[in-house]
Amino acid sequence: MKFEVTILGSSSATPVYNRNPSAQLLNCNEKFYLIDCGEGTQQQLIRYGFKANKIDYIFISHLHGDHYFGLIGLLSSLHLNGRIKPMKIFAPAALAEILALQFQHSETIIRYPIEFEPIQADTPSMIFENADLSVETIILNHRIPCTGFSFVQKKRLRKLVVEKLEAEMVPIEYYPLLKRGVDLELPDGRVLLNLDYTTDSEDPKKYCYCSDTLYDERYLESIRGCDTLYHEATFLHEMLERANQTHHTTALQAAQIAQTTGARKLLIGHFSSRYKTLLPLLEEARSVFENTELATEGNTFTI
């Protein structure tokens, strides 16, 4: 089962050369989930070979422009390109008003349904679930209400040992029951113990996205034990005072969070435009948490 994230934007506040504002595309079993939508996101989708019309779910963390200014353009392009299937958007409630105003004054009637789900930034809650994954909010500490998102795979059915089943001439109509873990008694009297004919599926993976936030231990439990943690790392730790003033995190703090919560891999992003090279931020994070990577444009990470 595919579970991977592609980085479309890694810059904070403003675009800089080779770095766009925040946006990521999560692929779970060929279903696509857009996480934040900074300016230029649809150009990034084109650049990295993704079809925007395959996106059915959009998650917006908060209403600072570098996290959603690309949304109106993306939705408008989908309209112009003939989309008819619904788009589900999970975002702060005020975004519905912003979108309505944009479409009102451009006299645009979107041809496809936009299903808007307002999210709250006061307590963690499950906001979405389908056959592939569930999504819960992570309550962050920023200058305005802000949430991260935890994407957790569903446990898959057990895997059949097909060669053994075929050798025993087990009728194929019994396969679905075996996948569900059922022991069987066949009409000919044979008893099939499930453990003899199936193997367990892989443990479900967890991806946590922490956008803009001050270091705050209150959200650590929501991200504990994730396989891959994306955490903003706007500044080097030498600028801790500036990070605190702007409600952001340093690369060192992001690494400490990954270590404390037992993450397997850390991705850092949302870099200040003051940094022309990102190596110092990577080195700072790796000094605490070795399995750290830069969440830079075009990179795809398997969760």
Known catalytic residues?
66
Name the 3-class secondary structure at 199: strand
- Beta-carbon contacts of residue 283 (< 8 Å; ≥ 6 apart): none
Say how far apart CA 128 and CA 124 lie, in whole Å. Answer: 12
Pair of tokens at residue 107 = 């006299």
Q: How is residue 65 annotated by DSSP?
A: G
Pair of tokens at residue 262 = 């037992």
Q: How is residue 241 annotated by DSSP?
A: H
What amino acid occupies position 22? S
CB-CB contact of 255 with 265 (8 Å): no
Sign of CA dihedral 187, 192, 193, 198: negative
Say how far apart CA 216 and CA 257 lie, in whole Å. Answer: 9
Q: Which residues pair with 119 in a beta bridge?
A: 92
Q: Tokens 């967890």: give the residue.
A: 206
What is the number of H-type helices and E-type strands within the chain?
10, 18
Among 49, 45, 47, 38, CA closest to 16: 38
Q: How is residue 219 annotated by DSSP?
A: G
What amino acid occupies position 164? K
